[in-house]
Amino acid sequence: MKILGIDSSGMAASVAVLADDVLAAEFTVNNKKTHSQTLLPMLDQAVKMSGIALEELDGIAVASGPGSFTGLRIGASTAKGLGLALDKPLVAVPTLEGLAYQLAEAEGLICPVMDARRDQVYTAVYRMEEGRLTKVLEQQAIDIWELLGYLNQYSDQIHFLGDGVPVYQDAIRQGLKGSYDFAPAHRLRQSAAAIATLGAVYFQEGRIEKASEFRPVYLRPSQAERERAERLHED
């Protein structure tokens, strides 16, 4: 099975090619350039270096959200465009599941946190059971202190990762009573390799959709939509 993975849901943009459970290529960039500048050139290079033509792909796995509104739209449009042009199915992999899967060997609870601004994070809580990622807390946008209050009911080791860690690590240290750790730099941010690997699992389970039907999951209105609602409320 050959799967192309795409993740542009956060600050890092990432593309990977997985072929029969072997990571053939991965290209990840985390700099000040926009995803609209980097994603397509990265995709082109990753595919060329993998030696696998786009036509050979069985499917395209894409981080489906939550995350950056602009980043998700760029990733979605890229995946949908490829899927339509190549007549390949898409596999929607929730961004937080892709993040958590990077710590698939960890014991205890896995808690990805993405900065959603205004002291909120996009988060969920998972644990690995018999080799499968299982949900303990559904993905949601939540106040960081509310999340920490929820986590304090568990005695498990809690593993944090995601771009929310550098933003909220002081709050985590202050508010969490139990034991915890932070993922190292190479596992802290989004990775298309994880999206492709988990996407292959979901593909085999039949969790695919037509490219034309794919929609990102934002979890909450965009800043522009919130500001418009506030103006209407004031009027």
pLDDT tens across the length of the chain (235 residues): 999 999 999 999 999 999 999 999 999 998 878 899 999 999 999 999 999 999 999 999 999 999 999 999 999 999 999 999 999 999 999 999 999 999 999 999 999 999 999 899 999 999 999 889 999 999 999 999 999 999 999 999 999 999 999 999 999 999 999 999 999 999 999 999 999 999 999 999 999 999 999 999 998 765 444 444 444 445 5
Whether residue 115 is found in the same domain as residue 157 = yes
Q: Which two tokens stand for residue 77?
A: 């449009």
Are residues 14 and 80 both part of a single domain?
A: yes
Domain check: are 126 and 52 in the same one? no
**Is 196 part of a structural domain of the chain?**
yes
Instruction: Confirm whether 209 is domain-assigned.
Output: yes
Q: Say whether both 60 and 12 belong to one domain.
A: yes
Instruction: Count other Cβ atoms within 10 Å, centred on residue 108.
Output: 18
Residues 171 and 62 in one domain: no
> By three-state DSSP, how is residue 213 classified?
helix
Q: Which domain holds residue 119?
A: 104-182
- Nearest CA-CA partner of 118 in 150, 172, 181, 164: 164
Output the pLDDT for position 143: 97
How would you list the strands of the sheet with 13-19, edge to edge?
Answer: 22-29, 13-19, 2-7, 59-63, 90-93
The pLDDT assigned to 31 comes to 85
CA-closest candidate to residue 87, choices 178, 208, 188: 208
Beta-carbon contacts of residue 204 (< 8 Å; ≥ 6 apart): 1
Within-domain flag for 46: yes
Domain shared by 146 and 215, yes or no: no
Q: What's the confidence (pLDDT) of residue 170?
A: 97
Q: Is there a domain that residue 213 lies in?
A: yes
Query: Are 46 and 15 part of one and the same domain?
Result: yes
Residues 52 and 35 in one domain: yes
For residues 91 and 160, membership in a common domain is answered with no
pLDDT recorded at residue 220: 73
Angle of helix 144-151 relative to helix 164-175, nearest 10 degrees, comes to 50
Does residue 36 form part of some domain?
yes
Count of structural domains within the chain: 2
Give me the pLDDT at residue 144, please. 98
CATH code of the domain in which 40 resides:
3.30.420.40
* 118 shares a domain with 139: yes
Question: Is 234 part of any domain?
Answer: no
Answer yes or no: are the C-beta atoms of 75 and 61 closer than 8 Å: no
| 90 shares a domain with 198 | yes
Residue 235 lies in a domain: no
In a domain, 141, yes or no: yes
